[in-house]
Structure 1
Amino acid sequence: MVETKILTVYEVADFLKIHFNSAYELIREGKIRYIKVGRQIRIPESYLQEFIERGGTN
């Protein structure tokens, strides 16, 4: 089984050095893919890597 690191929005914001509201905005705009666990938003590390590789665009 491959272990995938799952990040919170706050962890993503910290990694990207942006405010957490900006991270939520990127998610709402569909620029960063995410999954929901109950009512909580989680971002697999691979989704964040995709965002970075695209240069932060759709």
Structure 2
Amino acid sequence: METIDEDGNIVTDNKSFLQIWEREFQKLFDKAEAFEGANFDEQFYEEVKKFKLELQQQF
């Protein structure tokens, strides 16, 4: 797998890849917390579960 770091470099090693994704997901959760009482529907929940499972299977 690969992703791009904050400097625009391609990152392929698993440790750095996971650190980048962790940071990006944390940013999303921080924004989601701003919507206190937000109600995510069942479709959203199922998509998140699917994505999580796919990531877990790759490691």
TM-score where L is the length of structure 1: 0.25
TM-score where L is the length of structure 2: 0.25
Higher Cα radius of gyration? 2
Greater RCO structure (CA 8 Å; 6+ sep): 1
